[in-house]
Structure 1
Amino acid sequence: MNRRLITLSIATLSLAAWLPTSHAQSTAWPDKPVKLVLSQPAGSGPDNVARLLSERLARNWGQPVVIDNKPGGQNAIGAQFAARSAADGTTFYFATTAALITNPLLFKTLPYDPQKDFVPVSFVARSPFAILVETASPIKSIEDLVARAKAEPGKLSLGNEGPRTFSGMIARLFNSRTAAQANLVSYSSVGVGVQDLMGKHIDAMVADLASTAALAKQGRMRVLATTSPKRVAGWEQVPSLSETMPGFDMVGWFAVVAPAGTPPAAINRFNRDLGALLADKEVAERIATMGPIAEANVSVAQTGAFLRNEMTRWTAITKEIGILPE
């Protein structure tokens, strides 16, 4: 009788110990599909990176990770949608430098507030920009580009996506720090500008490596320099602008944020799993082929500190190039 009671008690304890764990696992985040909002169109540099990561995260979580592209309005459409989404751990925003940092410095009014509407989740990758020319161009180096721009003020054309975009600000800062007088030509998108570059309608183009890496590696364009403070992994043969302009650092980046009020459990799990994914050599190498450089295991707190530092840095840059909010 005693032996039967002991056996029953052990079984009961074992069952009691198993039940809470099973319940916790069944209700652990995510227990439904996760949406990742982007402000860029399908096929863009950020979209390519986000899709790669979403596929791997979906396998890990056992839940679909849906990419929701909402381009337009200088990132405002996608950012506003993400900011107004339910803070229940099902919607996250795959954000760029423009959406979180430069937009508040360039526009007097926005339909969202990056600092109040979002909370940090994880850093993803740095996205260097580059100055490119058409393959057959006689311009072989940044020194050639600057010399020609100075010799023929206003004649050398430097394409970009407009004065209030990342590439446009890089172009203005380049003009300012080199005393070059390139004619800054604005385009509605990188794709349109690149087509004009390859068609020899402009002399050079400022664009992100994520959007132009494939064409450059195919030999259809030549990268003169990157905008990062150091040479970019995978592009070691290409000098950085900081080599001729010390301190030049105009690198875009991707970070994941969530609507303010999102449960910490969802944020921490997303951060942990994304960090581990970015640390995977194969994943990092695949991202590098697209242009960006992955940075793994950046904590939630570190991501928040980075965003605050970037706001301070970019405030100084916009003052240097004379851009005021409109």
Structure 2
Amino acid sequence: MNRRIAIKTAAALAAASLLAPLSAAQAQAWPDKPVRLLLSQPPGSGPDNIARLLSDRLYARWNQPVIIENKPGGQNTVGAVAAARSPADGHNFYFATTAALVTNPFLFKQLPYDPAKDFVPVAFVARSPFGILVKADSPIRSVEELVAKSKAAPGTVTLGNEGPRTFGGMIARLFNSRSGAQANLVPYVSVGVSTQNLMGGHVDAIVADVASTAQLAKQGRLRLLAVTSDKRLADWPQVPALSEQLSDFDMVGWFAIVAPAGTPATAIERMNRDVNALLSDDDVAARIAAVGPIAAPGYSPEQTGAFLAREHARWAKITKEIDILPE
């Protein structure tokens, strides 16, 4: 009896030893065809620029094309739905934003996808701070002056944003609420339009992501009054963070890579490992910073998932604070 058990055990161990190298070989073989990275933003946007930078570097590592597919519209819902319905074959990923994964559930009564159920976390990419900006020749020189001027004449100081239910719009509402400012919040269809109107003198200030406005600020056409992160930015050390005036004010967008639920673990682990390696590269981090965001390497899929859960809980409180209800 014992001899038969020993023979069976030896056979099982031998079979396992044959399968282990096969599994490792399969992991190294991925990807064996082009990988699709879907975005909810248009070509030329901040997220698009970062995704294309990563796709070029991943192609060099894998010798497989990483195809960027842009599906903007519907406050990220068009792209998110397309990504959620993509085959979970390990070759489809979603380069997602804060809106797509966290804030949309608080904005829509009937969201056509479920961020928690339809996707699995893969990697965290970068944080994208916003800023309050004015024209370079504006008489408003600081956030304190902006707040004071808006209080002196309520409703006359205008603060452009992308609309009350966008990330920038919610930052503007939170800024008004916590600072006591009484700025008139003016909605625009995009950051580009609000920026043009700011330079044309049609609004006093705007809330916009640093990625979209950094070049204009560096050219001296716009001036950053403050950034919305909890700390000053390395590339803008002279610009104060709003947290220096408003306690615990930390409102930054971010980018994360997720995949359709059911995606093989092998593909998730390899994508995570290679994206983190790229984000840890000084040249890649510098190129991302030049666009505006700050690379954030080192997150495992599990840590990315935990971050998303914390952000969901945080935004549940923020949307109540600024009286945002789903529609």
Q: TM-score range by the shorter chain?
A: over 0.9
Structure 1 residue 24, shift from structure 2 partner: 2.5
Structure 1 residue 178, shift from structure 2 partner: 1.1
Alpha-carbon displacement from aligned partner over 1:72-128 (angstroms, at most 9, x marks no partner):
000000000000000001110000000000000111111111000000000000000
Structure 1 residue 188, shift from structure 2 partner: 0.5
Alpha-carbon displacement from aligned partner over 1:170-210 (angstroms, at most 9, x marks no partner):
00000001111100000100001100001111100000011
Q: Unaligned regions of 5+ residues in structure 1, if any?
A: 1-16
Cα RMSD between the aligned structures?
Answer: 1.6
Distance 2:208 2:190 in 1: 10
Within a 5 Å distance, the mapping from 1:22-41 to structure 2 comes to: 24=25, 28-41=29-42
Cα pair distance change 1:264/1:151, threshold 3 Å:
same
The residue number in structure 1 matching 2:137 is 136
Letter in 1 for 2:201: K
The residue number in structure 2 matching 1:214 is 215
Cα pair distance change 1:302/1:151, threshold 3 Å:
same
Distance 1:114 1:35 in 2: 19
Pairing 1:189–2:190 present:
yes
Q: Unaligned regions of 5+ residues in structure 2, if any?
A: 1-16
Distance 1:22 1:274 in 2: 21
The residue number in structure 1 matching 2:9 is none
Distance 1:259 1:28 in 2: 21
Distance 1:23 1:72 in 2: 40
Q: Which SS does the other structure have where 2:189 is aligned?
A: coil
Distance 2:132 2:23 in 1: 55
Structure 1 residue 232, shift from structure 2 partner: 1.1
Structure 1 residue 297, shift from structure 2 partner: 1.7
Q: Which SS does the other structure have where 2:233 is aligned?
A: coil
Letter in 2 for 1:104: P
Distance 2:322 2:72 in 1: 27
Distance 1:45 1:109 in 2: 28
The residue number in structure 1 matching 2:205 is 204
Distance 2:196 2:74 in 1: 23
The residue number in structure 1 matching 2:275 is 274
> TM (normalized to structure 1)?
0.92
Q: Are the equivalent residues in 1 in contact too, given 2:27–2:270 (CA < 8 A)?
A: no
Structure 1 residue 129, shift from structure 2 partner: 0.3
Runs of 4+ in 1 over 6 A off after TM superposition: 20-23
Distance 1:236 1:27 in 2: 42
Distance 2:229 2:63 in 1: 37
> TM (normalized to structure 2)?
0.92
Letter in 2 for 1:324: L
Structure 1 residue 26, shift from structure 2 partner: 9.4
Letter in 1 for 2:85: R
Distance 2:317 2:265 in 1: 33
Distance 2:177 2:23 in 1: 62
Pairing 1:308–2:309 present:
yes
Comparing 115-124 and 25-34, the one that deviates more:
25-34
Cα pair distance change 1:264/1:62, threshold 3 Å:
same
Pairing 1:160–2:161 present:
yes
Distance 2:35 2:153 in 1: 53
Identity score, percent: 70
